[in-house]
Structure formats: C-alpha cells, structure tokens
Amino acid sequence: MSQYESARAAFADWGVETETAIERLKDIAISVHCWQGDDVVGFEAKSGASGGGIQATGNYPGRARTPDELRADLDFAFSRIPGRHRLNLHAMYMDTDESPDRDAIEYRHFTPWVDWARDSGLGLDFNPTFFAHAKADDNLTLAHPDAGIRDFWIEHGRRTREIAARMGAELGSPCVNNIWVPDGMKDHPIDRMAARQRLQSSLDAILADPQDRANMLDAVESKLFGIGVEAFTVGSHEFYLGYATRRGTLLCLDMGHFHPTENIADKLSSVALSVDEILLHVSRPMRWDSDHVILQSDDILAMAQELVACDLLGRTHIGLDFFDATISRTAAWVIGTRNMQKALLRALLLPMDTLKGAENALDFSRRFMLTEELKDLPYGAVWAEFCARMEVPVGQALIADLDRYQDSVAGRG
Ligand SMILES: C[C@H](O)[C@H](O)[C@@H](O)C(=O)CO
Ligand SMILES: [Mn+2]
C-alpha cells in the first residue's frame, strides 16, 4: 500500500475523504504578492525607500531589478507552487518606458503584466501605491489637510480602479483593488475626526464611479500603527470596518495590522456578519508588523481552520503580505505560499461535523481529545500526493530546485 493509500485509510477511519479535500484545495487560488521579489522597491523611474513605515531588511543576493527579472522569478516560484493562482501587483510595479506620475498611470503602463498573466494562466489583483513618493512624505495622503495633495492621490486611486477593471475584464476574473494608505501621525493628534472625515470623503471620491463587480472588487485595509505613525493611524480597524460595511467594499484584514496579542482568525466570523467578502493579507508579525514569511504556525493554522469551519472560503480572497530580504526571495515565495496551502489542507482534512457535534453537545472533553488526537494524522502524505498530482516536487527535491534557482540569480548586481 502506498503512503497515500494508507493515509487515505487513516483519514477515512475518522470519516474524512482525502479526495474531497484534495479537490477543494485545487480550487483555492492564493494571491501571491509581487513585492516579496524586490524588497518593495518597484519599477518607477525614481524608486527609493518604500516609506509609509514599510521596510524590507537584509541584502540577500538576487533581488529582481527589472520587470523581466521579477517575472522570471515568479515563473519559477509559480512552477513550484501547486495549483493555479494569482499575482498581486502594486501600481509602482508598472512596466513601461514612460515615467508617468502616480496621478497619470494608465492601463497601457501595465499591459506586459496582463499579457504575462494571460500566458501563465494567472489572475491579477492590484493596489494603488500611496507610499514611496514625495507627496506622501508627510505620512498623509488621502487625509492630508492640503486639498491639492488629496486630489493628487484621489486621482491615483481612481485610475487604479480603472486599470484593475480592465485587468479583470482582460483576464476574465475580477481583480481585487486594495486600498491601503499610510496616513497617520507620530504623536498624539488634536483633531482625529477631521483627518478621518477627510479620508472618508477622499475614499468616496475614489469609489464614486461604479465598476462591474465581474471585473473588479474594491477592498480597504486598516492598520493599527506604523513606524513614524505610532500615535495615530487614520484608517484604523473601526474606521474601515464601518466604511466597508456602509459602502459594500471588501474588508482587508492584514495579520500584521493588529496588536500582536489579538487573534486575527477570531475576527473572521465577526466581520463576515457585516461584510459580504473579505480580503486577507496573510503575514507573520514578529512583535510588530514585521511581515516575516509565514510558517506553519498556530496563527496560520487557526486562520485556515476558521475559513473552513465558518464556510468562508467562497467569500474570502486569500492574499499574502510578507517580505524578507535576508533569505532567498524565491524560496520565501514558494515556502510561504505552500505553507498557506498546507494550512488549508489540514483544515480541509478535519472531521468538522464530529468536532462541531462535540462542541454543540457542550462535550468539551471530547472536543479536547479529538483536536489533540487528530494532530497525529498523516497530513504530509496527503500533501505529497497533492503535489505529485500537480507535478511539483516536495522535500529534498524541492530544496534542491530552490537552491539551483537561487544560485542562478545570485550574481545579479
Ligand atoms: C506593500 C504593503 O505591504 C501593502 O501595501 C499593505 O498591504 C500593507 O500591509 C502596509 O503595511
Ligand atoms: Mn497588507
């Protein structure tokens, strides 16, 4: 009997069909973020420090310096991640000989990405870039007291929605356009309300034109604090939860954007009662929003378990948001994305009816015994079978591939 056949029998003993779990996992597209490949630098003529409190640390060799290098790295990464997925592109990753400012970007500045995505069978998601720009140096953009600066960023936001809609139409899959702004203050503000009113009306202006939801979906992302905006973030969780609920946008929950002791998995069932769809930025905050590459850690397993237990997979867009320049960037993409998939597989392999039955009967002894014994089941054999069917390597063969690719890019200047 093969390892998979014996694992299949072990799960069947608990009433779980491994074939069903594998089929469901195949259908879950992860939105892989472009910015892990180049340390959040982007390809604008004048790219500099990321700003907005975002900073990749490390100088591991092999950073992608051009769109072609980034696409080559992504081709490799996607070839080692089982399944069909999406690329999450920030506006500052335009691919053009022109140098449009943020308020002048157009669809044509991104067509090489769309052509590549189409050829690769990938979906695209998009983000306006409200940081790494002189007009964001005050750490205020859409909430800036200066109407001229607000108008500049409103125009940027409007254009990204048009570009996202066209990307979605071209690829036949709705493009999620996620708005995150760094706006805040280093020290205690006097007039929080005025800043939040400005952010609200700027967002309203950006979202004023209706777009076909078959082509694009709007999302808004909150944050607790960032470097340089320790005292006050205009777009807090409460601000965006209310905004998304009122305006019918997706709510983005970034796992690094809350207090480190908060359980982000616990928030899913709460916000799902108020918003139709959720966007996740799966990340690993190490004491703060450090954006470490995700592990198969309790937080990630809990997030996946909630998505399955609450039946939220159909209305949750799973995006990743981590970056680490101290390790191979392609290895970070591949291992991080596979960790998300492994967490989902583990959740899909749980005998959910049995677990819920124990809980509903208030039989907490049974729930406790079940959850702990289930941890010993052979999840690895099911994962290996899934990878074999999707023609991607596991274990030492994967590590050899990751090493080989890293060696091939290490000479980049
Ligand atoms: C690139 C950023 O990580 C991204 O735009 C945003 O999602 C964020 O999380 C900022 O902290
Ligand atoms: Mn994020």
Q: pLDDT for 150-171, tens place per residue?
A: 999 999 999 999 999 999 999 9
Catalytic, 281? Answer yes
What is the rounded CA–CA span in Å between residue 383 and residue 387? 6
CATH of the domain at 341: 3.20.20.150
Q: pLDDT for 216-266, tens place per residue?
A: 999 999 999 999 999 999 999 999 999 999 999 999 999 999 999 999 999
Closest ligand, as measured to the CA of 253: 2
pLDDT on residue 413: 76
- Per the domain annotation, does 401 fall within a domain? no
54 CB within 6 A, ligand 1 = yes
Catalytic, 288? Answer no
180 CB within 6 A, ligand 1 = yes
- Per the domain annotation, does 129 fall within a domain? yes
Catalytic residue among 321, 324, 385, 401: 321
- Per the domain annotation, does 111 fall within a domain? yes
pLDDT on residue 73: 98
- Per the domain annotation, does 405 fall within a domain? no
Domain count, the chain: 1
Asked if the model's pLDDT at residue 19 lies above 70, the reply is yes
pLDDT on residue 53: 72
- Per the domain annotation, does 194 fall within a domain? yes
Nearest CA-CA partner of 184 in 128, 149, 134, 140: 140
State what percent of residues in the chain have pLDDT above 70: 99
- Per the domain annotation, does 256 fall within a domain? yes
- Per the domain annotation, does 412 fall within a domain? no
- Per the domain annotation, does 20 fall within a domain? no
Whole-number average pLDDT of the chain: 97
CA distances from 10 to 18, 329, 332, 370, 387 (A): 10, 37, 32, 14, 19
pLDDT on residue 131: 96
pLDDT on residue 345: 99
Q: Which domain holds residue 198?
A: 28-348
pLDDT on residue 54: 77
pTM of the predicted structure, to 2 decimals: 0.97
Mutational test site, ligand 1, from 102, 321, 322, max ligand atoms within 8 Å of CB? 321
Catalytic residue among 223, 267, 292, 317: 223
pLDDT band of 45, cuts 50, 70, 90: confident
Q: Supply the ipTM of this predicted assembly.
A: 0.98
Catalytic residue among 73, 183, 289, 306: 289
Q: pLDDT for 322-353, tens place per residue?
A: 999 999 999 999 999 999 999 999 999 999 99
